[in-house]
Structure 1
Amino acid sequence: MIEAVLFDLDGTLLDREKSLIAFVSHQYDRLAPKLSNISKELYISRFIDLDKNGYVWKDIVYDQLIQEFHLTDCTVKELLDDYVINFKHYCIPFRYLHQMLNELTQLNIKIGMITNGFGQFQLDNIQALGIEHKFDVILISEWEGLKKPNPEIFNRALAKLQVSATNSMFVGDHAINDIEAAQNMGMKAVWKRNDASPTQKADYIIHELDEIPMLVQQLVTSQK
């Protein structure tokens, strides 16, 4: 019996790729006089390359950009502060996000989130998506002092939800941090398909978020 569904954030609920492109594009426009050594197209593409799907923090990304393109009119701190303050204004959800969460609530399914990242930054993004109130528990790695794939952060979430791993499902996009880690806990692991972290080890594979409530209902029915 599935009693709870837990989610990753970036690449699962938040379309991080589209959000990042939107942010970087507007950052260039805001700071264009200071970035004249580089074209907008190259600034965006190089940023995306250096970002490595979010696994490189932005101080390193900006430092590399400044060195590569000899940007003398701006500092790493200036660019990083702009990112931290303004990224939340460009958060784009994956399709069906709100519909999916509403349907899970109607099914009396508990909803949780476990996301790696900096606490206030991730919370700002969650609030920007307008979904914070939909979750029974949200754990962010910086504030927990633990990050996925450490099983303890999963244990904490399950304990707060008061559900067992075997009665829970985890939805994520990363082969190790989400899928493998959830399966090691005994949870059903659902991979939101992407090209960045491919895996065929998931229990289920989805393309769109609206598949989640249907999957939960199918599992409930099959276990009766």
Structure 2
Amino acid sequence: MYYEAIIFDLDNTLLNFELCERQAILGTLETCAISLDLHGITETNFLQVYETYSSQYWRQRNVFTPNELIKMSYESTLAELNIKTEKISHLGQIFWQIFNHSSFMEPNVYEVLTVLARSYRLAVISNGLVSAQLPRMQAAGIDHFFEEVVVSEAIGFAKPSPEIFNHALSKLDLTPAQVLYVGDSLNHDYAGATQVNMDFCYYNRKNQNLSQEVQPKFIINKLLKLLELVK
């Protein structure tokens, strides 16, 4: 199968979102001189509580700003764990300063992009904030590989909406048949690519079992294997 372009998801396909977020969550505490050890709390415990509140609050992202959502997540976590700080108003701002410059990549990303860029046009479709996604790509040193970077915040549509995929195709002036899409999410990436009849390569980074109804064109568990598919 010959493709003109390969489009990638960003988080947990090229960049490791969990590690980027972990660095920001714990780095914010360190910057604010909040010691978990002094309160007898492990990093794992703090992260578990934080993630519980964060997932709840981010469902309200149409109501609150990103700064407010992060601040609310910290407030609830610190309250539950009985940790007091006078710097609560700065936590959201500090989090984003750290997160927006985090650069943890999935294994072999730079090598894979270097090889693919010799033969294919490359692009990114990402759900997220422009202020977070673009600086993180720059921090990782991979931004120069991509002809187009389409971020949901900028166009008002998010995956799996077909509009965001069609927008990327329009920017590239290509048809779905000319593009392979690579991503780690069945709900966002696979569902969206399928709606526009774009071939999909599932980056099964955690080796999850798939139901029979899910049938990506390709399945890989290492990005290096992508080179074998499209060489």
Instruction: Give the corresponding residue for 2:140.
Output: 129
Per-residue displacement from partner, 1:4-47 (whole Å, max 9, x unpaired)? 11111111100112222233333332223476546242223323
CA deviation after TM superposition for structure 1 residue 195, in Å: 4.5
Cα distance in 2, alignment partners of residues 199 and 10 from structure 1: 20
Unaligned runs of 5+ in 1: 218-224
Instruction: Give the corresponding residue for 1:46.
Output: 49
Identity of aligned residues (%): 26
Q: Which of 66, 73, 82 is residue 61 of structure 1 equivalent to?
A: 73
Shift in alpha-carbon separation, 1:105–1:194, aligned structure 2, 3 A: closer
Q: Which of 155, 158, 163 is residue 152 of structure 1 equivalent to?
A: 163
Instruction: Give the corresponding residue for 1:29.
Output: 30
Q: Is contact 1:175–1:198 with CA below 8 Å preserved after alignment?
A: no
Shift in alpha-carbon separation, 1:214–1:84, aligned structure 2, 3 A: same
Q: Is contact 1:174–1:197 with CA below 8 Å preserved after alignment?
A: no
Q: Is contact 1:8–1:173 with CA below 8 Å preserved after alignment?
A: yes
The 5 Å alignment of 1:51-130 reads 51-52=54-55, 58-74=70-86, 77-107=89-119, 109-130=120-141
TM-score by length of 1: 0.84
Instruction: Give the corresponding residue for 1:205.
Output: 219
Per-residue displacement from partner, 1:86-127 (whole Å, max 9, x unpaired)? 1134320011111111111112x1111011111111111111
Per-residue displacement from partner, 1:41-93 (whole Å, max 9, x unpaired)? 222332344445x9665344223213322444246542111111111343200
Amino acid at match of 1:148: K
Q: Which of 176, 192, 197 is residue 187 of structure 2 equivalent to?
A: 176
Q: Is contact 2:101–2:135 with CA below 8 Å preserved after alignment?
A: no
More deviation, 56-65/161-170: 56-65
Q: Which of 152, 156, 167 is residue 141 of structure 1 equivalent to?
A: 152
Shift in alpha-carbon separation, 1:64–1:147, aligned structure 2, 3 A: same
Aligned residues: 215
Could you list the runs of 4 or more consecutive aligned residues of structure 1 that deviate by over 6 angstroms after TM superposition?
Answer: none
Q: Is contact 2:205–2:222 with CA below 8 Å preserved after alignment?
A: no
Instruction: Give the corresponding residue for 1:214.
Output: 228
RMSD: 2.5
Amino acid at match of 2:174: V
Q: Is contact 1:8–1:171 with CA below 8 Å preserved after alignment?
A: yes
Amino acid at match of 1:182: A
Shift in alpha-carbon separation, 1:76–1:204, aligned structure 2, 3 A: farther
Q: Is contact 1:25–1:40 with CA below 8 Å preserved after alignment?
A: no
Shift in alpha-carbon separation, 1:197–1:49, aligned structure 2, 3 A: farther
Unaligned runs of 5+ in 2: 60-68
Instruction: Give the corresponding residue for 2:62.
Output: none
